[in-house]
A and B are shown apart, each in its own frame.
Chain A
């Protein structure tokens, strides 16, 4: 099915468009998937020690432990994968082979009634192989769609996508993993006044990033188990970033960053990358000659 709406919207650069069209890929349109989630942080505030509140003795506010907030991790993970799946579905409706240049974005908004919502957006350009207009030697090239007929997704630019194809790989999906952690500020106390590592925080940050990366792999292999024709062999361009899951100050006096009391910082760690697999055997897109880098000295400045 080659359904190519004309004119097609894309956010490809000029060079990207040219390299893609040389392999017969033409843009089918901009695809967007979004998912709005209420970033509820209930349970991340410290609990109140009722006994201490009524009878005195000991601090009333029980601080939160430094640990993962599993409910939030799950919410963010499903929100992000929903956004990607919606984008994929839109690309499928357009009859595209896949989506390139995917950007994953999170926007935090404060809505009336002090609702903190997080909007997860996935934007990319759907591209399809146009057999009629592509090069003749690629006319019989197999489609890059996954086995179940779904389009692939990737956060690669057009140039990177073409370089990957010629080296014998194809993108499978944009993969992401998430871990939301809350931190107990009291853990700082013993280290006030001297130079030392803070093992509790180190453990938390280390573990959170590792968990995000481990979940990315786990989710990939749950969907495409090893041995499946689309099972990924690697992930390129993987990054692990962190972001605050809610503002530290909502404005107004008394909500100072320092006087946040039991409101522990909540940090979201996200790993994102493009999972790749080998091209199907006999795909003419693979360039048989090995990659031959050429060292050049540019004279443009």
Chain B
């Protein structure tokens, strides 16, 4: 697919170099902890290398034309865009694992990075300044700049900070909300979202191939411990399956009568419909991989980056409507031939007191 005249990026040159070096010098890399690493080894697999894929995507919140009285609808273009972005990231990760000669990828983390949106970044700074101003005793009517906050807040904030510095007898210096945070804030552009997939490619030590029916390495978000348990119980993962659905609810349907307790049917319908659609797509993907089941399914709701105004976040939906994404992801599994192994389990009482370690400043979880 070509968009904007440029072909979609392939794996970068440095990735090929890195993979070639790992193969030549017999070095493995993994993001597994030591316990996970040892368990993966015990399950008969060797970690090969950390593999990743990324896609930076421009996602535009376009509201589709609607009939009056229609109880919300799916935003097809956005559903596709968000799916496509994740799919691109996962495909690139898969290609890296394939090049490394892996049977599969475990511990996959799908990361959605929203901090490329400058308005979102500015909104965080704005909130930080508000907190500071309230601490200094400024009333809320002075700090709540309403819909025009984006244009004016820097002026107001800088004025207050300068006055504060003068009172303290300090030379001019950057205010606390401008001190760089640990989190990266690279303002790429509005509605720009990064999707990244990262995991550890593994290979089975025996002759058996663990690739899925498309001849590709399987992917799964199972941790090393979960992977070991699954393999030892006679199942193997065949792929990462996902389904999503972006749904829009128009604002007039979100208003309820103030004096009456009632169900917000538009919301209920939207969430219900979106969840069902997303799950259906998930099941379809699992069927195409020939899976008999899906484990570790996560259903999550997001409203990623497409809110136009960050003012009155709680009530913004009453003016602009609500746009949500239902995202479902899980690991498709099949039983292994000659599996049916039973895990022996034993019950234990845990005597570790983790609270004490936390209070005393130890680094234990």
15 contacts between A and B (CB under 8 A): A198-B192, A202-B9, A209-B52, A211-B14, A214-B15, A234-B28, A238-B29, A243-B182, A244-B185, A256-B122, A257-B118, A291-B42, A294-B346, A295-B229, A300-B349
The 10 closest A-B pairs by CB, nearest first: A13-B362, A265-B186, A195-B81, A251-B178, A247-B180, A160-B34, A300-B350, A201-B56, A207-B12, A214-B18
- Choose from B21, B118, B180, B229 the contact partner of A217 (Cβ within 8 Å): B21
Q: Is the CB of A164 within 8 A of B34?
A: yes
Complex CA–CA separation, A202 to B7 (angstroms)? 12
Closest-CB distance, B173 to chain A (whole angstroms): 7
Interface segment among B154-162, B277-285, B310-318, B327-335: the answer is B154-162
| Further pairs besides A188-B58, A235-B28, A253-B158: 15, Cβ < 8 Å | A14-B356, A191-B58, A196-B3, A197-B3, A202-B54, A214-B14, A217-B18, A235-B29, A236-B30, A238-B30, A243-B184, A251-B178, A267-B186, A291-B41, A296-B346
Q: Mark A13-28, 1 if CB is under 8 A from B, else 0.
A: 1111000000000000
B121 at the interface (CB under 8 A from A): yes
The count of chain B contact residues (Cβ–Cβ below 8 Å) is 98
* Distance in angstroms between the alpha carbons of A217 and B14 in the assembled complex: 12
A218 and B21 within 8 A (CB): yes
* Residues of chain B lying within 8 A (CB to CB) of residue A214: 14-15, 17-18, 21
Q: Determine the residue in chain A with the shortest Cβ distance to B81.
A: A195
Most chain B beta-carbon contacts within 10 A, residue among A110, A221, A232, A244: A244
| Bound form: Cα–Cα A210–B96 in Å | 11
Closest to A268 in B: B184
In chain B, positions 161-200 with a C-beta closer than 8 Å to chain A are 161, 171, 173-175, 177-189, 192, 194, 196, 198
Given contacts A226-B26, A299-B348, contact A251 B32 (CB under 8 A): no
Q: How far is the CA of A206 from the CA of B57 in the complex (A)?
A: 13
Whether the pair A296, B348 counts as a contact (CB closer than 8 A) is yes
Kindly state whether residue A57 has any CB partner on chain B within 8 Å.
no
Contact A295–B347 (Cβ < 8 Å): no
Q: Contact check, B57 vs A197: say whether CB atoms are below 8 A apart.
A: yes
Q: Which of B53, B59, B345 contacts A206 (CB 8 A)?
A: B53
| Cβ of B86 to closest chain A Cβ, rounded Å | 11
A7 within 8 A of B: no
Assembled-state Cα–Cα distance A298/B187 (Å): 46
Count of inter-chain pairs, beta carbons less than 8 A: 274
- Could you say which interface size class chain A belongs to? 35 or more
**Residues on A with beta carbons closer than 8 Å to the beta carbon of B228:** 293
Other-chain residue from B4, B33, B179 in contact with A196 (beta carbon distance below 8 A):
B4
- Interfacial chain B residues near A266, Cβ < 8 Å: 186
B162 to chain A, nearest CB (A): 9
In the complex, the answer to whether B229 meets A299 with C-beta atoms within 8 Å is: no
Whether A257 touches B121, Cβ cut-off 8 Å, given contacts A199-B6, A237-B32, is yes
- Which of B5, B57, B92, B344 has the most A CB atoms < 10 Å from its CB? B57
Which residues of the partner chain A approach B198 to less than 8 Å between Cβ atoms?
Answer: 240
Compute how far the CA of A185 lies from the CA of B121 in the bound complex, rounded to whole angstroms.
Answer: 15
In angstroms, Cα B151 to Cα A258, docked, is 10
**Chain A residues closer than 8 Å to B177, beta-carbon distance:** 251
> In A206-237, which residues have CB < 8 Å from any B CB?
206-207, 209-211, 213-214, 217-218, 220-221, 226, 232-237
A253-278 near B? 1/0 per residue, CB < 8 Å = 11111101000011100000100000
Closest to B16 in A: A210
A-contact 0/1 string along B215-231, CB 8 Å cutoff: 00000000000001100
Contact partner, A251, options B77, B88, B158, Cβ 8 Å: B158
A110-B348 contact in complex given A191-B4, A206-B12, C-beta closer than 8 Å: no
Which residues on the B side are within 8 Å of A248 (C-beta)?
121, 185-187
Q: Are A207 and B14 in contact (CB under 8 A)?
A: yes
Q: Please tell me if the beta carbons of B189 and A188 are within 8 angstroms of each other in the complex.
A: yes
CB distance from B5 to the nearest CB of A (A): 8
In the bound complex, residues from chain B placing their C-beta under 8 Å from that of A76 are none
